[in-house]
Amino acid sequence: MNYRFIVPLLMTALLEQVTTSLVRVTTSYRVLELGLSEVWLGIITAAFAILPMVLAVTVGRFIDRGNEVPTAWIGGVLMVVASLGFWIWQTVPAILLFTAILGLGHLMLVISQQVLCTKAEGPGAMERMIGNYMVANAVGQGIGPVIVGWAGGSASIPPTSLLFSIGIGCAALTLASALLFRQGTPRALRPGGTKPLPVREIASIPGIRVIFLLSIVTVAAQDLVVVYLPILGAERGMSVDVVGALLATRAVASMASRFLFARLNEALGRWQLLVLSTFAGAFAYLIIALPLPLWLMHVAIASAGFALGVSVTGSIATLLALATAEARGTANSLRMLGNRVGQFIIPMMAGLVAAASGTVSIFLALGISLAACAGVTQYGRVKPNSDTPT
């Protein structure tokens, strides 16, 4: 086992998610601090997707030419720049700009790391590596809200400037970890002059479009719970540390699901697992919308974290298995492009819905969307030999 490759990869994944979750939750509280409406929160959340929407395919083509490692380095630099920007400037235009930069840095780190996961050799090695990578992601997603809860305590709004300064340190550690990829990281350079597979052909691979749709809905659902749970908590009189604990519960459950992903995938087959986990996530989100006691809220959000942790991990593994080796970067960038389109459109729609009907309606809409997506996945799954365990 090449620990000089695996350890920096998993450390970078963890630190990147700590930075992203910390900064994005803090941004939600900064919106409240500035007295902005839910509509503004939707617009700021959507800004995370702007640059990735424009540059996703370009990043994927760059990676497919053997540039996985430089892509990760650039992504780390962008996260440092964004974190510094949030700390220095406290205006709405600055929040929009640095949210967009953070989104691009996150995109470059995520795509490069997921393609690096496919270099694991042996039967089932890719699924195990992706599972481990997603565990690191889940740990990072849990640490970020815990830091916010620690800093905020029983206050309704935490000290955002302090949290953004912590974000700078986390981003710097992310970059430092990514720079270690130069040692012991396998890089498969593509043959010079080879014409890349056209996007149209990649999108026409059987099952790919279903995975794109599934990824868009599940990632948006995961993303919006981080953004809107603090708002829902504030509406229900929850303190910052209680909301942080709920988000940490979700992250721990998501981490557990990724530990078990390879075994679940082997037992059920990737398509059956995708359908069942997405239906379970839909049910959990509908339950979260109800006025629950705190202990049951923890159960519901843990169920959502576990189910969607499986679904998101499965969509990545399935897409990377369906795509050919020379097109994995572009295929994954198309998946991320779809995710970012969803993260651009859905938050703005969510902001409008929340302004009109309250934050609870966001969770109802997400539950219904997940259930519909699970139905589409069941109908559009790749049937020939696709349900055999992989």
The 8-class DSSP code of residue 325 comes to G
Residue 319 located in a structural domain: yes
Residue 109 has a pLDDT of: 93
Supply the range of the domain harboring residue 34: 3-189+197-380
Residue 387 located in a structural domain: no
Residue 343 located in a structural domain: yes
Residue 137 has a pLDDT of: 82
Please give the distance of CA 247 from its chain centroid, rounded to a whole number: 14
Strands (E), the chain: none
Residue 190 has a pLDDT of: 47
Residue 226 has a pLDDT of: 77
| Nearest-angstrom CA–CA distance, 327 and 63 | 9
**8 Å CB contact between 289 and 360:** yes
Kindly write down the DSSP assignment for every residue of 176-210, as one continuous string. Answer: HHHGGGGTT----PPPTTPPPPPHHHHHTSTTHHH
Number of domains in the chain: 1
Residue 209 has a pLDDT of: 85
Residue 386 located in a structural domain: no
| Nearest-angstrom CA–CA distance, 158 and 146 | 12
Residue 186 has a pLDDT of: 45
Residue 362 located in a structural domain: yes
Residue 171 has a pLDDT of: 94
Give the torsion sign (CA, 142, 148, 150, 155).
negative
Residue 385 has a pLDDT of: 47
Residue 388 has a pLDDT of: 39
Residue 16 has a pLDDT of: 93
Residue 107 located in a structural domain: yes
Mean pLDDT of residues grouped by 10 in the chain (390 residues)?
75 92 86 78 79 83 82 93 91 89 92 79 68 82 82 77 92 92 50 62 80 86 81 82 85 84 84 92 90 89 92 85 75 79 71 72 85 86 48
Q: CA nearest 123: which of 266, 267, 258, 2?
A: 266
**8 Å CB contact between 78 and 100:** no
Residue 14 has a pLDDT of: 93
| Nearest-angstrom CA–CA distance, 156 and 341 | 32
Residue 2 has a pLDDT of: 62
Residue 282 located in a structural domain: yes
**8 Å CB contact between 77 and 171:** no
Amino acid identity, position 332: N
Enter the pTM of the model. 0.71
Residue 388 located in a structural domain: no
Q: CA nearest 141: which of 52, 234, 229?
A: 229
Cβ neighbours of residue 371 closer than 8 Å, sequence gap 6 or more: 278, 279, 282, 283
CATH number of the CATH domain containing 102: 1.20.1250.20
